[in-house]
Structure 1
Amino acid sequence: MTMATTVERSVGERTYELVPHPYSHSTNEAAQLAHVSGKHIAKGVVLEDEDGYLMVVIPATHHVELNHLRAMLQRDVGLATEPELERLFPDCARGAVPALGPAYGLETLLDEALLEASEVLFEAGDHESLVRMSTHQFMELLGPVQQGVFSHRLDPNVHHRPRH
């Protein structure tokens, strides 16, 4: 259980708890293993186009609305590839993307669904721990980011592809 250096530097002196859990393949699985609601877990989804990268932070229980984002941003964004993620998050385990876009130099959008809870959890940069903090402190970490509705809730009865 290790926190990525960038994440550790970002949280700094803020109050947080490192929540350990058995190895997980997805944020939803991490939620189950850590015995927390997936709607409280902030998942960072990295998008890319010819202009660069951006991160959309959504609840783990949701799926990014790509067509809505493309229209809103007027950019033809798509999901970043695994090699791109490894390059953008060099201090993290493969597929364990912390939902802290600004800490990694990424333009960041925040889904308003995450603001409904009093606390937020996010990947620490490995597959065995989450960082838990108040929503207020999480918002301080992100800084001024664009907020809106960028996702929809996943159907819990449909199996989704795990991260690698």
Structure 2
Amino acid sequence: MPTVQGYLQQRNVACKEYQHSPACTAIARTEALVRMHSVDPLDVVKVLLLKAGRFRNKWYLAIIPAGRRLSMNTASQSIGRECRLATEREIRKMFPWCSLGCLPALGGLLRIPQYIDPDVCQRQVIIFSAGEPAHSVEVSLDELINVEPDVAVKALCRVAL
């Protein structure tokens, strides 16, 4: 499996790399990045693996702001199929090279269609895990959307009150 940096380099997508204290949740990653590198916390995204279908499984990545919560109802409506979060066991089986909580926002690398929440699209850059707890990358969102093969912008989060 190619590395996140290798995948981006093959597609001529510039990335900035960050080393930080180990973090396997989006909130902990955001806190570490803000503390160590003074990044804008709104640039950090959470990457979730969704499973749709009971018998013919279909997988999707959901990319949402790190500080927001996924709405399964909203995500299911946007995708057009009933979805659930993948289990840790399913994630380990599909991506043994990737630490839990550290999926990169690269559907092309993972060979999975990806849905990006519109709130993420308000950012010029996004920061996400590079597959391991102490390593993240920052990329231009426009560049990423242009090179990724199967991307759709759809609502995934609860509506803020």
Identify the TM-score tier after normalising by the shorter chain: 0.7 to 0.9
Structure 2 partner of 1:48: 51
Query: Which whole-Å CA distance do the structure 2 matches of 1:118 and 1:137 have between them?
Result: 10
Instruction: Kindly indicate whether residue 24 of structure 2 is the aligned counterpart of residue 19 of structure 1.
Output: no
- Output the CA distance in 2 between the equivalents of 1:81 and 1:21: 26
> What is the 5 A alignment of 1:124-163?
124-152=130-158
Query: Quick one: which of 87, 94, 97 aligns to 1:81?
Result: 87
Are residues 14 and 70 of structure 1, via their aligned partners in 2, closer, same or farther at CA, if it must alter by over 3 Å?
A: closer
Question: 3-state DSSP class of the match of 1:124?
Answer: strand
In the superposition, relative to structure 1, how do residues 111 and 125 fare at CA in structure 2: closer, same or farther (>3 Å)? same
For structure 2, list consecutive stretches of 5 or more residues without a partner in the other structure.
Answer: none
Q: Deviations over 1:83-106 (max 9, x none)?
A: 111122222123211111221111
Aligned residues: 152
Secondary structure at the aligned position of 1:64 is classed as coil
> What are structure 1's unaligned runs of at least 5 residues?
156-164
TM-score normalised by length of structure 2: 0.83
Mapping of residues 62-81 of structure 1, within 5 Å = 62-81=68-87
CA contact (8 A) 1:62 1:153 kept: no
TM-score under structure 1 length normalisation: 0.82
Q: Deviations over 1:16-50 (max 9, x none)?
A: 11111111131111111111333211221111132
